[in-house]
Homo-oligomer: A and B are copies of this chain.
């Protein structure tokens, strides 16, 4: 494997929006994230995010109702670890700063930056910053500052500590807009030794606690206690390491001893080992467009940085790169990000599903609150498993999250055959979601036909709310029923007694099969396409005079009532179901549907374009697929949605991987056959990537006229492999 296009540098960083750079160059390891704040002028009291470390505050409604979500859950902004105080020996503070270079090595995880910093008096020096986050040792982060003379070449003093929010900010505010800040955490900071600071933070309501340490690794010269003279033209370096404990656990390490035993080099090696593993498993290489090649690497890099690895945390919508969406986990994980892990790192996929399993008791409670007497309803947005969506028509009403999670369990099992997981956790989630659908839906008799329907739901398209028989929701619920039956049969192969463990008999399987067979899927005979819902096609199209560029995204310009009364989609909805179930509909229908829904979709959601790309490829229009793909692949790097400052669009990062794999190479799995098809657009010379199916790592290699699949490691697979519709035999290369 050659590491090509793994060095992320941005041109002209000095003129970029600082908040955008902080996001783009953020480092993370699933446990915590460090935004790339300017160490001199950035905000020292915010910059670090710990996955799942959050506070709650009551949700205030203008008009509240029964069963509404009760509490905001907000990931905490913790102090920036990168901040440093630099002054001349005469006491002039270096308070001005310009980032002149920044480079993130996606092969090793090392972030290298240069800053030109100066005092009010115009004294200027250069500061290099190298930082790295532990990937094996996920409690650690290290940084080295190197100072060299520029216009100033005399004595220099450096000091560094964790900033503590001023007490004033911890006082609950009377301004109702600040409600979510009412519960600022209790922070204690102390110097354990002169070289080691402890920072202990406790939340007031959720009663979580985390201990952080910041200590000196090596002290070159007298930068700290006494000024060092820069006139020797030598670099003067100071290295620090931070330790971020686990949430809620008493810290049993001896940090002083640990810091003494550490070095930045050791941490860099830990990081490099991790990334080597990632790229060995999941390298993607795109020929013909180096910038694109780099962008894909970046996206995979950030997916890996964001994902919680401990089975108690998940992937926030913005990862650990920013506090947008309050650090909440959404369906984005299962439908957009999990596939990358399912097909490259099954252990991680399992951990992410375990998180959901841990929230199952709260999902059961939520179903009761929604008046459904059996089964479980997972929270639409959450950290701790409780519903935190304060606008239910586009939140809780998106019941499809239940079927999305079940779908992800099914895909995980399909590729791993991990029956232990199914028995221990997976089946219970699939069964409880199926029970929800069973009790939530209702039978309807039309003439002599019975069908099973779902009323007053919101599908993925948030521009259409509270409708009946959303196609996506119904199709996924149908699959949810089927999956109960399938997994039950798998378990019964191991032991016929296993069903009883879940309070089931074989008769129950007939019930679920019958439900699956009768779920209603709306179809328009007139248009020959699946209908997004019972009434979507009846509504007028979004008016032309409200369609100039400055009207988008619609949600920032129009009242929801205005948007809802038109036939307009924020994102792929019915088409998302078509992507998930490739064998559902013939190509001509897919083409009609694609054309129809493309005409009414604004792509105001970052989850949209990747799906349109995949389906364009499947339809044999790789050039269109390429255009949609290009809007997803570099979305955050070029700040396409203008809000990368709030954090990366993690689902889109996952979507860009899907667009390559499921789109350009036509990947999907069905009935124990792995399918590929060559849809490489002419703009690309080549696409090569790796994935792990069962125990085998495959490499897929596409050029204009061929698609090769080879086994890189592991056994020759027992499952079938189909390329362009024909089964092939795999050989192992070494």
Residues of A within 8 A of B (CB): 58-63, 65-69, 72, 172-174, 176-177, 179, 182, 369-372, 389-393, 395-397, 440, 442-444, 453, 455-457, 465-466, 468, 534-535, 538-540, 546, 555-562, 564-566
Contact = CB atoms under 8 A, between A and B. Distances in A.
A393 to B, nearest CB: 7
Contact of A62 (B59, B66, B535): B59
Interface centre among A66, A443, A539 (most CB of B within 10 A): A66
Q: Which 6 A-B pairs have the closest CB atoms?
A: A62-B390, A67-B559, A371-B562, A442-B540, A456-B565, A63-B391
Contacts of A561: 67, 370-371, 392, 396-397, 456
A66 B556 contact: yes
A538 B466 contact: no
Given A174-B174, A540-B455, A564-B466, A60 B58 contact: no
A577 to B, nearest CB: 21
A392 B179 contact: no
Number of copies: 2
Given A63-B389, A558-B67, A559-B65, A468 B174 contact: no
Contact of A370 (B63, B390, B392, B559): B559
Contact of A565 (B66, B455, B546): B455
Given A62-B69, A63-B390, A65-B559, 18 more contacts: A60-B60, A60-B179, A65-B391, A65-B555, A66-B555, A66-B556, A68-B559, A172-B174, A173-B174, A174-B174, A176-B179, A371-B546, A440-B565, A444-B538, A455-B564, A457-B565, A465-B466, A534-B535
A633 to B, nearest CB: 30
A535 B533 CA distance: 12
Contacts of A179: 60, 176
24 contacts: A59-B62, A60-B62, A60-B176, A61-B62, A63-B395, A66-B558, A67-B562, A173-B174, A176-B179, A371-B546, A372-B562, A392-B560, A392-B561, A393-B393, A393-B466, A440-B565, A443-B540, A455-B539, A455-B540, A455-B564, A455-B566, A457-B565, A468-B538, A468-B539
Main SS at interface, chain A? loop
A69 B561 CA distance: 12
Contact of A466 (B370, B444, B466, B557): B466
Contacts of A396: 559, 561
A395 B560 CA distance: 13
A456 B568 CA distance: 13
A480 B538 CA distance: 24
A371 B559 contact: yes
A390 B172 CA distance: 24
A439 to B, nearest CB: 10
A369 B562 CA distance: 9
A596 B378 CA distance: 36
Contact of A535 (B66, B390, B468, B556): B468
A184 to B, nearest CB: 13
Contacts of A371: 546, 558-559, 561-562
Contacts of A456: 539, 561, 564-565
Contacts of A453: 538
B560 A65 contact: yes
Nearest to A535: B468
A391 B62 contact: yes
B455 A61 contact: no
A405 B559 CA distance: 23
A676 B216 CA distance: 95
Contacts of A443: 540
Nearest to A541: B442
A540 B442 CA distance: 6
Contacts of A389: 63
A363 B465 CA distance: 25
A35 to B, nearest CB: 25
Contact of A559 (B369, B390, B558): B369
A62 B539 CA distance: 29
Contacts of A534: 535, 538
Nearest to A567: B455
A243 to B, nearest CB: 36
Contacts of A560: 65-66, 392
A557 B395 CA distance: 20
A443 B396 CA distance: 32
A716 to B, nearest CB: 51
A526 to B, nearest CB: 10
Nearest to A366: B559
A58 B66 CA distance: 22
A723 to B, nearest CB: 46
Contacts of A555: 65-66
Interface centre among A392, A456, A465 (most CB of B within 10 A): A456
